[in-house]
Amino acid sequence: MTTEIDVSKVASDARRVLGGNRQHGVSEWGGREYDFVCPSPGSYPFQWLWDSCFHAIALLTVDPELAKQEIRCMLQGAQPDGFIPHMLLWQKEHHPAALTEYSIVLASQYYTATVQPPVIARAIWRVYQATKDRDFLLEVLPAAMRFFRWLKAYRDPDDDQLIAIIQPDESGLDASPKYDVLMGLADAPPEQVLTRLRDGMQRLFSAYKAHREDPARLLALDLFNWEDVMVNTIYADGLQLLGGLCREAGYPSTEAAEFERRARRVLSALEEKCWDERSGVFWDLHGYEEQRAHTLTFTSLFPLVLDSLDRHMVWRLVEEHLLNEREFWLPYPVPSVAASEPSFDPAYRANVTWRGPSWVNVNYYLYWGLRAHGYRDVASELAKRTVQMVGTGGMREFFNPYTAAGQGARDFGWTALVLDLIHAETWGCGCTHEEKSAHLEPFTR
Ligand code: GLC
């Protein structure tokens, strides 16, 4: 990579988006006040669960109070049983367009019936690590713990420690080709992917319709019962961090131990059930029969994020796959699908997400995983190329992994996670000493 990029320009562009995407007002939803950063005012004006967690992490480099605000606003959607919705549709004026454009099912007029990956524990941990604000921790921790207990109660019916999603976008990886096998998309030409995916979603929604009142029955239908490696990695990471946060909050040590024990069990289940020693990657499992989904996407490498992952697995994931120029180590890594896959679509020809381009939230997670495993140089190179990618393509939703051309939504919120990488690499940009140390200090687990 030789492209010269002005890092402070990238950082100021990211800050501009975090400021410009702010939505605030009073919702007709019970008169609740909302104040959050939306993913993209043009395409995604609402509050999405994992987006907001990423926004909170990025906002730490701007103003920790705004990071707290982002989480507080999202937790207004937390339900008494622990469920936290995938989307909060605060602004009624945007509902008609959303209901025609998105394939979603609502649980109420203002929120969806689905979840997204539980990045919430990591977001709270990062805010706490940066601010040591115990009152904030005591305010938000119970809702996060309830959400993780909800996931265990309703999404692990086979009790194998791995949670399942009920439809593709619950992982946040809406159109990933790994789901093609269950969505009626196998071998679909690019121009048919979008329509066939929409049809597949409608088929699922109709089948689920009669059973929505009882969330446990949806997986029992075994129509889309998917144990996703990325979702479970985020879940294991979150359980581990919640354990540490319970201690910080002064909760009973048994409660901290419960979360940490469950984190270890999820990791063991990933290692025992999803690891493939022959190919040196992890595979998702689908259906009661737990078939392996052999599509090589970035999620096959994602357990790298877990610092207790078996050393031999770490080595194989990094040396044989992440750094493999025929799979993931493209000029602007990490592509969402390996370049060796027939479905790999780097130029976004199919006009749907997660089928080849690189995304900054993936690089954010992998960056920290690489550092935790001692791959400091690889992490730095990944951070450098990510900054170059955003500098070249702009604050877009995702990027062509060969050219860094920006694709998808404009002024995209979580692309601002590039700020976290910039601060972690301490490339200047006027961050204070406290901010730098907040990002570099290891958290004792
Ligand atoms: C797309 C992405 C999803 C994200 C949403 C809002 O649907 O696939 O992960 O949460 O946009 O940015």
Residue nearest to atom 9 of ligand 1 (CA): 172
Tokens 């706490």 correspond to: 128
Q: Are 79 and 14 in contact (CB under 8 A)?
A: no
Sort 142 into a burial class: Cβ within 10 Å, 0-12 / 13-18 / 19+.
Answer: middle
Closest Cα to residue 376, out of 308, 440, 430? 440
Q: Going along 72-164, which residue ranges are E strands?
A: 87-88, 106-108, 111-112
Radius of gyration of the chain (CA): 20
Closest Cα to residue 226, out of 277, 280, 183? 183
Q: Is the CB of 39 under 6 A from ligand 1?
A: yes
For 252-375, where are the alpha helices, taking DSSP H only? 253-269, 311-316, 360-372
In this prediction, residue 213 carries a pLDDT of 86
Nearest ligand 1 atom, CA 397: 12
Pocket test for ligand 1, best of 174, 398, 410 (most atoms within 8 A of CB): 174
Collect all residues with Cβ–Cβ distance below 8 Å to 232 and sequence separation of at least 6.
162, 163, 266, 269, 270, 274
Tokens 């926004």 correspond to: 55
Q: Is the CB of 148 under 6 A from ligand 1?
A: no
How many helices (H) and strands (E) would you count in the chain?
16, 13
In this prediction, residue 437 carries a pLDDT of 39
**278 C-alpha to ligand 1 centroid (Å):** 33
pLDDT band (50, 70, 90) for residue 274: very high
Cα 410 vs. chain centroid, distance in angstroms? 19
For the whole model, what pTM was predicted? 0.95
Collect all residues with Cβ–Cβ distance below 8 Å to 315 and sequence separation of at least 6.
none
pLDDT in tens, 222-261: 999 999 999 999 999 999 999 999 999 999 999 999 999 9
Nearest ligand 1 atom, CA 49: 10
* Token representation of residue 315: 């080595």
Pocket test for ligand 1, best of 50, 87, 299, 353 (most atoms within 8 A of CB): 353
pLDDT band (50, 70, 90) for residue 3: low
Sort 61 into a burial class: Cβ within 10 Å, 0-12 / 13-18 / 19+.
Answer: buried
Q: Are 76 and 32 in contact (CB under 8 A)?
A: yes
Is pLDDT at 62 greater than 70 in this prediction? yes
Q: Are 328 and 322 in contact (CB under 8 A)?
A: yes
pLDDT in tens, 297-353: 999 999 999 999 999 999 999 999 999 999 999 999 999 999 999 999 999 999 999
**217 C-alpha to ligand 1 centroid (Å):** 26
